[in-house]
Structure 1
């Protein structure tokens, strides 16, 4: 089914905004729960997507991905500020704060998958196809965000979890990569290596979600 750009935006807008907003809000809620109020005081512990949108990473880059056939959907939001030193247990609590975002995407992916099953039951209903396409987009974006963010590359959540799990000497070495993490990701994306790394993981998670739903 060929969709116009406007139709694609209409289908993808809600799933993308929800995935990014809840991902960042989950970090903020977890940080406050474990003792760091930084994100809360800066107004980031909210479900208002305007507080989390990055004009380039949330709007421009995903839009370009939609325009390029076969492109891996890619993007980012404004990172939630976390003062790990303020957490009650910086290492253990910090890992939970970092994991909160991908976990929220997993929960949303399951929800969208259940909605997809419901859409498939609306046989012949005029709302079936739009709901089905939106649910498929919701599953795709949330699984992609979860898998991408769990890659062990700082400043991604997986990199943060690894950083807080390593002995101090090794953690200091890994922390030096963090300022260049986005550059590494863009290079992996441009060379196609990122897709090669993610596609097997995406298929594994899709299979598990289909079985659960």
Structure 2
């Protein structure tokens, strides 16, 4: 059975749920980065953005909101419409919501390298090889000094240590990585290298879903 990714978002509204705790952690981390970001325009991209809950509520109340140009890419048009409405209601004129395959590099070509790159809800739904490939592409998506926010569950197989190693190999340093005991699976890495050219026409990953990965 195909998962309903629109209905999946309902757990965000349940205090104490894993998604609610993950979301709260992400908000704190994004606020911290925005608080300390250098003056001037900021570029933000969000892959598999869903209803935009990771980013839009933070921008809505943040002093840097008008400095941000953001593109949220989401395949499900129902989720994209929720995100688009939320951005409009918050008056976030710089936030664009695009319906499409977030795995395609061409979706981001005119906005990279970006200062904030959100890859949330992705690494738990794609194959291990695709995670490695996506981390490699983050070195083209992210500006020097920029930050990647990512999520991955800490259940077995716990790939978070390997993901951290892959980010290190690509020139990233860890800012914060939740422990297995936290149960939220949030990672934040800052890019200290020089951005690579973004390869055009590349599919970074195939979003297959956690259920398919565990019960093929």
> Is the pair's TM-score, using the shorter chain for normalization, greater than 0.5?
no
Give the alignment's TM-score, normalised by structure 1: 0.30
Give the alignment's TM-score, normalised by structure 2: 0.30
